[in-house]
Amino acid sequence: MLEDYKEYDKIIYKQMENAISNNLSHAYLFDLNNNVYAENMIMAFVKEILCKKHISKEEYDNCSKCKRIDDGNYSELKKIYPDGLVIKKEQLDELQKEFSTKALESDKKIYIIYDAEKLNLSAANSLLKFLEEPGEGVIAILLTNNLNSVLNTISSRCQILKFNNSKIEDFINYNNINSKVTIYKIAFSIFLRTNIDEYIENFVNSVIDFWKTYESNGKKMIVYEKQYFLDIFKEKEEILNFIRCSILLYRDVINYKLNNKILYYNDYEDILEKISNKNALNRLLYKLSILLSKEKLVSKNVNVNMFVDGIIIDMEE
Ligand SMILES: [Zn+2]
Q: Are residues 77 and 206 in the same domain?
A: no
Q: Are residues 161 and 237 in the same domain?
A: no
Whether 131 is covered by a domain: the verdict is yes
Q: Are residues 32 and 141 in the same domain?
A: yes
Domains in the chain, number: 2
Confidence (pLDDT) at 192: 43
Residues, Cβ < 5 Å to ion ligand 1: 51, 63, 65-66
Domain containing residue 193: CATH number: 1.20.272
Q: How far is the CA of 105 from the centre of ligand 1 (A)?
A: 12
Q: Are residues 35 and 69 in the same domain?
A: yes
Helical H runs in the chain? 10-21, 38-50, 57-61, 64-71, 89-98, 121-132, 152-155, 168-175, 179-188, 197-217, 221-231, 236-257, 269-278, 281-298, 304-316
Q: Are residues 146 and 10 in the same domain?
A: yes
Q: Are residues 220 and 154 in the same domain?
A: no
pLDDT tens digits, the chain, 317 residues: what are they? 898 888 778 899 999 999 999 889 999 999 988 776 788 899 999 999 999 888 888 898 899 999 999 888 999 999 999 887 899 999 999 999 999 887 777 789 999 999 999 999 999 999 999 999 988 899 999 999 889 999 999 999 999 999 987 655 555 555 544 566 666 666 655 544 444 567 777 888 889 999 999 999 888 888 888 778 777 787 777 888 888 889 989 999 999 999 988 888 888 999 999 999 999 999 999 999 899 888 878 766 667 777 878 888 898 88
Q: How far is the CA of 62 from the centre of ligand 1 (A)?
A: 8
Whether 289 is covered by a domain: the verdict is yes
Confidence (pLDDT) at 234: 78
The structure's pTM equals: 0.60
Q: Order of strands across the sheet with 159-162?
A: 77-80, 109-113, 138-144, 27-31, 159-162
Q: How far is the CA of 64 from the centre of ligand 1 (A)?
A: 7
Owning domain of residue 145: 2-166
Whether 24 is covered by a domain: the verdict is yes
Q: How far is the CA of 77 from the centre of ligand 1 (A)?
A: 13
Whether 171 is covered by a domain: the verdict is no
Q: Are residues 206 and 287 in the same domain?
A: yes
Confidence (pLDDT) at 181: 64
Q: How far is the CA of 61 from the centre of ligand 1 (A)?
A: 8
The CB density around residue 151, as the number of other CB atoms within 10 Å, is: 17
Confidence (pLDDT) at 301: 64
- Please say whether the beta carbons of 147 and 30 come within 8 A: no
- Please say whether the beta carbons of 141 and 113 come within 8 A: yes
Confidence (pLDDT) at 178: 55
